[in-house]
Amino acid sequence: LLLYLHDVVYLLAAIMLVFLLLFRVVVVSGRSMNDTLYDGDYLLLLSNIFYSEPQAGDVIVAAKEDFKNGAPIVKRVIATEGQWVDIDFERGIVYVGDDPDHMVPLVEPYTKTLTTKAEGVVFPLQVDEGHIFVLGDNRDDSKDSRHPDIGLLDKREVMGKVIFLFFPGTNRGQYPMELDRIGVVK
């Protein structure tokens, strides 16, 4: 019995170490990422220890200390440092490029709504060094880099990259629990 208990303690310590260093678990709160993610979804993140360079298209979790007391927010990376971002709010199109004269419209099949709401940030803008520009997939119901309270996210505020949805939420009962949503998040 003592031998088994010894092995179980070592196994639990190894699992804890892996989850403390390599992975994190986060629960989605809010509707800003609908229909990609729902309120109540349980996500597995690749920790920022191993994920330090966000790329456009990545779904990330960040904690901005001066926004909601540092509560985790889930957003999609749209542009990285040095890139330019412009938004045509009348047509709902987001443009990204390496210089302000050569920006291309993003193809965004993951969005629930077009980007038609201006939130106070002036465009076009260049993403500062060490920062990223993020948007929620549900653009009509997302506080993101368009809003001065969030603005550009410092890469040090990124907790990790979302890699897997392992327990689906229901958007506070709005949708049935869909187990077929379990899997890799794109």
Q: How many CB atoms lie within 10 A of CB 6?
A: 10
Instruction: Give strand pairing partners of 94.
Output: 87
pLDDT, residue 89, reads 95
Q: What is the mean pLDDT of each run of 10 residues along the chain (186 residues)?
A: 89 86 90 93 91 93 87 96 96 95 94 92 95 96 93 94 94 88 92
Q: Cα(91)–Cα(114) distance, rounded to whole angstroms?
A: 8
pLDDT, residue 128, reads 96
pLDDT, residue 132, reads 97
Which of the following is catalytic: 52, 68, 75, 142?
75
Closest CA to 38 of 87, 84, 74: 74
pLDDT, residue 15, reads 87
Q: Cα(149)–Cα(127) distance, rounded to whole angstroms?
A: 16
Dihedral angle sign, alpha carbons of residues 47, 50, 52, 53:
negative
Backbone angles phi, psi at 129, to 5 degrees: -60, 135
Residues 131 and 11 sit within 8 Å (Cβ to Cβ) = no
Q: What is the CA radius of gyration of the chain?
A: 18
pLDDT, residue 172, reads 84
pLDDT, residue 51, reads 86
Which of the following is catalytic: 29, 32, 64, 142?
32
Degrees (nearest 5) of the Cα angle 95, 96, 97?
Answer: 130
Is 32 one of the catalytic residues? yes
Tokens of 6: 């010894």
pLDDT, residue 171, reads 87
pLDDT, residue 21, reads 80
pLDDT, residue 147, reads 93
